[in-house]
Structure 1
């Protein structure tokens, strides 16, 4: 039982098989796009939902490097190449680069500031001494900074906003074209094409990240629903089994109460009426339980009986049949040793008797499924206060066969926990250091609710 339905701890003694290289390569874009999820709040930084601290700090580092590089370069180029004057060069360098720092948290206001600064720079450069022979209206430094800003916008804003930014960029370039100085190399079309390409790529990446997040959330919801459905199905199964156990005792009460006047002649009238009332109450309880059982066994399509209903009407097994269960498992090729305390089935109440059998049954089924050929020990002991059920197996002797569509129904540990809770006991499960697995259940013989507080 190296793995269990509903909970699959990894064996410490068995190394994990590495995923194939194509699978790792396929998961890499998924992990990357998950980092690009759109922040939940407007002022939240880019990559704020990244799992690692260095990933969350990465946007600040990248933008800071660009600002520290572009600021002195812009001032130097405007002063030496364009001869724009030291005062104007310094002001334009600061205005065109420093707002990039704002792009990590508020890229849209940063874009408005940078676009205004770049437009002002283009106007100033029309009066520069050596603008001829150089790029205009966008200098190489302003193009680089603008593309960095486009990356931040693409990872943050909606598609409608990105299209608006791109169109405004092109419109400003067209308007500035009417004031183009002689002898310059026009860069309006270049920036328009580059900015559109960057916005398209980053917007697509952000969209993929959002889609991956929605898929992950939906899978989480589906997993929770499957767990809830499994729990409800197991509870319904336990309720059906308990009905059969309780119905037997109620039937005995009814028969004894009805036959009391004949078995014990000479009863007074009030005593006979009391027995008649007991029999009537027992019959009414049986009718109520049968109506409840009809609902539990229905398949939801008109209230008919569920498939396999005939098997559900069979007598419920108990501790006395665990030895038969062990022998059947041995015949299936699984080496199992058993140690069953004599008289445990007589000492255990019906709910404990049935729960002990079902726990051993599920544990052995998991051994066969997940640890074929493993040495297994089954022990059932009891004392005055509780029944102890213990199933321990070693590591698998051969590889388990993977069932089509999955490796289990998910009912294993869920059913065990529900049965133990029903009796007020405790359950301890987990892997062993040698690669095996252990299931230990303590089932009290007395109802905890009846014990004095």
Structure 2
């Protein structure tokens, strides 16, 4: 008996277009060989008691004569197999066709051999897909007509009880084994769903834990920094202009970081991007996550911190949008931040080139006269470069980084530009 697994899902078809095609056609090949070749071979067997050559289905003392298979009978054998590749899309139609070809063969030729192989596969497939009544009806027709085919066509004067028992056993085994296989596959699928749900629950718990830790450590610290910078500005009316500019930059940067952090916490706590803020209040989904349109603000903050930064944007960055837009800005932000930390005496050139299909980012710093060269070891270690590479990989892009001959550092990224996709800055990827 031949059984089929349930039809693949849409995701399965996307993962491998060749697997469903093999399942539709490849599994039919053994059935075709068994039905056509096996039946033709069985029809040529002859013998009787004198030679002791009789097939298992022949009773004692029965002389077996070869069966003359007419061309139309061969056509019916082949036709029953040819419709099997469509058994997933049209299970009941394929069942009806294979039943008709099988019964037609039995009426044309004295049935012998595995001529029911295609019908067995069609019955198992239809049973798998829930067409129980159709399968039972086909089984009744097969059990009623196949054993009496010789009697109906006057090839034999008697009704074969042995053939009737064999036909009844065949359909019973087919249905029982198919049902057992279906139940087993359902249990396996249920266990997989349970494991997937458990993994999703563990991921949700981990996101909540991360959000709680971020809130308890980073959010409180950033709030304190913002508050102290504001108090210093309020009380320090006589501070030098440079000090006031630095405090203003600290206050504004910490405020923006708090807004972004609150959004990230909401995304971590809720799958739809709307969730409680660090104070426990449920807030609507916000839209503060920066993209390439925030490069000028990033440049201004770097200049306020004493870094000589120039930025050149070619093309229209508003056409990028989505995760590519966010990740591109984060790569630029991390590159400029690395210069501020590791090479404060260097000049930074930022180039953003937006094309029709790709987005090129280049952030390169050059040592100014008298500046200390940045440490290559510092630039090659840490989570900054790892994070930038992960952001580039996440959107199917590439990122390279390394020292330059003049003692600076160069970061270059190439990211694919999504087509026909509206900008989406609703949430920052975790």
Pairwise same-fold verdict (TM > 0.5): no
Larger relative CO (CA 8 A, sep 6+): 1 or 2? 1
